Amino acid sequence: MHRAQPVSCACERSRDTFFGEVFMRLPRAISGAKRVTWRRRALLPSLIVGALAPAAAHGAAAAAGPGGADPATGFDPAVLFDPTLFPGGGETQVDLSRFEKPGYVAPGTYRGDITVNQVWRAREDFEFVAGAGDNSQLCYDAASLSRYGIDLAKLSADPAHAPRKVMPHGKFCGDISDYVPGATASFDGGEQSLSLSVPQIYMSRDARGYVDPSQWDAGINADVLGYDVNLYRSGPNARQYANGYIGLNNSLSLESWHFNHTGSLGWTQGRAARYQNTATYLQHDIPAWQAQFVAGETFTPGDLFDSVRIRGVRMYADDRMLPQSMRGYAPVVRGVAETNAHVVIRQNGYIIYDTTVAPGPFVIDDLFPTGYGGDLDIEITEADGRVRHLTQVYSAVPQLLRPGQQLWSVTAGRVEQTGMRNLPIIGQATYQRGLNNWVTSYGGATAGAGYQSVLVGNAFNTPIGALSADVTYAGNRAPGVAATSGYGLRLGYNENFTSTGTNLGIAAYRYATPGFVGLSDAMVLRDAAARGQANLVLRQHTRMDITVAQSLGDNWGQLYLNASWRNYWNGGGRQVDFNAGYSNHWKSLTYSISATRTRDNLSPRLPGQAALGQMLPVQDGGYFTSDTANTVRDTRLMLTFTLPLGRTDSAPLLSTVINRSRLGGNSNQTSISGSLRADKRFTYNASIGRSGGAMQGSLSGAYMGTRGNINGSYSQGASYRQMGFGGSGALVAHAGGVTFSQPTGSTIGLIDAPGATGAQSSNAAVDGRGYAVVANLMPYQLNTIELDPKGAAANVELQSSTQSVAPRAGSVVRLQYKVDSSQLLLIDATKPDGGPLPFGADVLNEKGDTVGVVGQASRLVVRGVEASTILTVRWGANANESCHLSVDIPSKAKGARSGTQMLQSTCGATASIGSMVTQPLTDVSAHDARP
């Protein structure tokens, strides 16, 4: 990629600035290369080979003094340009004395990134003013320096290193070392950045990753509508069913307020469509408190208490406002599909993920659960109608915080669990604080009509791992239900044993007395009593959860285990769920074996029917509950082999899966998967196999585009057929129109680069109106977004290809890139006698504006001339130090936005359209340009 202009000047662009920027383009224009990155640290000296003349000393040795060359730049300040060495040497020369000094910057106001000690601090304006001679001086003010992390109090309190000058209150210009001892400043025009180096003794003790809140960007007014569509039809040939799912996530941003809505529309053949409102709320951050305010339908935190949905208000500390180095988990879901299967993931009864997967193992690692806690129910519906359920343990890690760090949450409102009645108003408060390096204390309380609970606990950082222990008292009373009270004990452990390669992610033990009822179960009991139904809650007695990953070394592979064991006071037996496996590789062959405990429905059923022990409230009241006779436990063993069919990254993968099930019998399948393009936007999977003695085959494909994603699937067996289609993406409505994109996440950037159609950033591409969406920005943290002109027209050049921004949560921030897409001309011009024009001379248009410069080999580099005109080449103030030429742009080039036109002409004393007219030479892309 390349950048058109080294600086952005608020004043009128000077001749010196244009002179330098054009010469930075010159090597690219001459060579015909479409994209080259140039670092323009010194305007002319870095490009002119042989232009320095140390032999013609002109008193250089004497002028250098005892210091000689500058050790920082390697540049000798006494070295001068010898004009006679430039093309067109002799008397007709341009005054280049200002470029004899390294790092010359034209006076003006510039906008760019500011770094201090290689850490980004801000993106804002800074000013250079003319100083003595040809020097430019950078201007500062105390407030800005403080914002950049310089501690002015430390500076004034250090008598041993007192500054040479007292820092004034307003703006001051000059050498920063006069005010901050040992400090230096350097400007990089090519990178649009100002770099300050300041001794650490004068810096504030900010954590790594810190971004000053004054730099947090609230974004623009915009509306973001994210969508996720999945249509699926399958089942036995005689009894097929179809269903559809549309997930919506809308965020309307007005100033710094955000209105958010999340919901889904579900439809099943034979049943009415139903829209489920997951959450609707108004959100605003409070930077001074490092907190968020939420009003509406949202969820309580699940790290200490059960997470429930409420309609009310919540205020909580947001640790995303802390630097990344000071921050304190959604699980990875694994499973295996035997056909093109429909996978639905629920948490607390709400659908949080719905997709179609190809046959074979699948991994879902991009979940956004609705609360911090609550096990996940994974429902896998095969194409022939069989349904299986997995349970993914999801618990919060031990509650350790850094010393002095605190997290808190305050919530008040009415519980609004889906399909339930007569739920109470509750209030809840939680608090966590790191006391020192070893102990974090936490606690909380929940109170409402008929229900109260109190929790206290501590987390410990020990040499053998992180431990947490807490106890909860809960009392429950509801109309028609006997009052109960009891205690719950919870122990947690987390450790990564590096010496043995063991990562014990979560190990939790919970015990409850017979009268203990959690908040979520209390709401179910209250609702059941209001309906006159029996007690449907299984009160948990003991529960053990564990997640382990064990590395066996480079040659011996890895083991993993996710398991949960539970039993209950009031029946229900013992419930065990686990997913365990071993994986390794031999040369390019990867193999694995795994075992999974599942809940299987023996007879086909419509989606929405509940599994054993699960209660799903429905819109018309009551619950779907499973039929114990039709639901049993099953253990499945799976052996997988994967082999790439080639040595490149895009080579297809050949996979074989052998499945053994105690209930479902044996199955096996072989598949080929891969991508069809170098950018891997299009992926495919084709498989054939045998299940239950019958053959089956499937096809699936997906395309990840810059405007959204689509996927499709088809499979068929001896007694069934399946078809599926899906898509996901987002629409961003803003003042400039509507921009389509891939799924965005909650915080996004809107690229505004008019004229740069086709330029790319990550998986986004600039559309015809100059917009593109950058998804999943990190709120309150520095995000650096690079716009690559690859894909744009050849004449498109960016002033700067990178932008840095720290957005506030939920915002849409504008990322403005200045684009120069004007016509670029290369004109081979000579004097009437055939001699070269003076190197470095200005090229002016009819208005007297500088539009180009004379480069090497008497080649003019001109930009911004779109129609036939007269140009003036000037290398001095006298009348005989200029000439004129007429430019007649070929008709094919008028209005063109691609390619670079090359012309040939003679520069004379006078000119008019029709005389000494330039002749088209060729297009630069096809021209074998001379060096």
For residue 721, pLDDT beyond 70: yes
pLDDT value of position 314: 95
Decide which of 26 and 899 is more confident: 899
Q: Is the dihedral of CA 306, 308, 314, 320 positive or negative?
A: positive
> Alpha carbon of 37 to those of 40, 48, 788, 844: distances in Å?
10, 17, 11, 27
Yes or no: domain 824-890+900-906 corresponds to CATH 3.40.630.30: no
482 vs 413, more confident:
413
Q: pLDDT exceeding 70 applies to what percent of the chain?
A: 75
Q: Is 587 left (phi over 0), alpha (psi -120 to 50) or beta?
A: left
> CB of 675 within 8 A of CB of 683?
yes
The CA distance from 67 to 258, in Å, is 60
Q: What is the DSSP letter of 178?
A: G
Contact (CB, 8 A) for 715 and 208:
no
Query: So what's the pLDDT on residue 505?
Result: 64
Q: Going by C-beta distance under 8 Å and a sequence separation of 6 or more, which residues neighbour residue 246? A: 227, 228, 229, 264, 265
pLDDT value at 377 more than 50: yes
What's the topology of domain 330-392? Immunoglobulin-like (2.60.40)
Instruction: Looking at the structure, give the CATH architecture of the domain made up of residues 99-204.
Output: Roll (3.10)
Integer CA distances (angstroms), 28 to 573, 827, 903, 921, in order:
75, 15, 17, 18
User: DSSP secondary-structure letter at 910?
Assistant: S
pLDDT value at 445 more than 90: yes
Check whether 528 has a pLDDT greater than 90. Answer: no
Domains 221-270+669-684+693-821 and 824-890+900-906 share a fold: yes
- With a cut of 60, say whether residue 474 has pLDDT above it: yes
**pLDDT per position as a tens digit, 227-273:** 999 998 887 776 778 888 999 999 999 989 999 999 999 888 878 88
pLDDT of residue 915: 39
Q: Tell whether pTM > 0.85.
A: no
Q: Is the pLDDT of residue 622 over 50?
A: no
**Strand 653-661 with 616-617, pairing:** unpaired
Residues 558-601 pLDDT 10s: 888 888 888 888 776 678 888 899 999 888 899 999 998 876 55
- Among all chains, which residue has been given the structure tokens 């009160």? 539
Higher-confidence position of 462 and 515: 515
Tell me which of 12-26, 37-51, 449-463, 739-753 is least confident.
37-51
- At residue 896, does pLDDT exceed 70? no
The residues that bridge with 386 in the sheet, in sequence order, are none
851-860 residue pLDDT tens: 888 888 888 8
**Bigger pLDDT: 644 or 11?**
644
* pLDDT recorded at residue 160: 61
For the ranges 179-183, 221-225, 539-543, 905-909, the maximum mean pLDDT occurs at: 221-225
677 or 145, greater pLDDT: 145
Average pLDDT over residues 863-891: 81
Q: For residue 771, what pLDDT is reported?
A: 93
From CA 498, how far away is CA 496, in angstroms rounded? 6
Task: Give the CATH fold of the 221-270+669-684+693-821 domain.
Answer: Immunoglobulin-like (2.60.40)
Query: How many whole angstroms separate alpha carbon 749 and alpha carbon 772?
Result: 8
Question: What SS3 class is residue 317?
Answer: strand
Residue 360 has pLDDT above 70, yes or no: yes
User: For residue 117, is pLDDT > 70?
Assistant: yes
Does pLDDT of 167 surpass 70? yes
Q: Is the pLDDT assigned to residue 291 strictly greater than 90?
A: yes
Q: What is the mean pLDDT of the chain?
A: 76
Between strands 812-816 and 257-268, the pairing is unpaired
Expressed in angstroms, the distance from the first to the final Cα of the chain is 21
Beta strand 802-807 with 216-217 is parallel
Name the residue ranges covered by the structural domains of the chain: 99-204, 221-270+669-684+693-821, 330-392, 824-890+900-906
pLDDT score at 894: 45
Q: Is the pLDDT confidence value at 903 over 80?
A: yes
3-state class (DSSP) for residue 169 = coil
Q: Which residue has the higher pLDDT, 384 or 498?
A: 384
Q: Who has greater pLDDT, 658 or 191?
A: 658
- What mean pLDDT comes out for the span 83-92? 53
**Res 710: pLDDT:** 93
For the record, the structure tokens of 678 come out as 């170098």
Range of lowest pLDDT (4-8, 138-142, 830-834, 888-892): 4-8
Amino acid code (one letter) for 437? N
Phi-psi region of 899 (alpha: psi -120 to 50; beta: other; left: phi over 0): left
548 pLDDT tier (thresholds 50, 70, 90):
confident
Q: How far apart are CA 831 and CA 909, in angstroms?
A: 9
3-state SS class at 146: helix
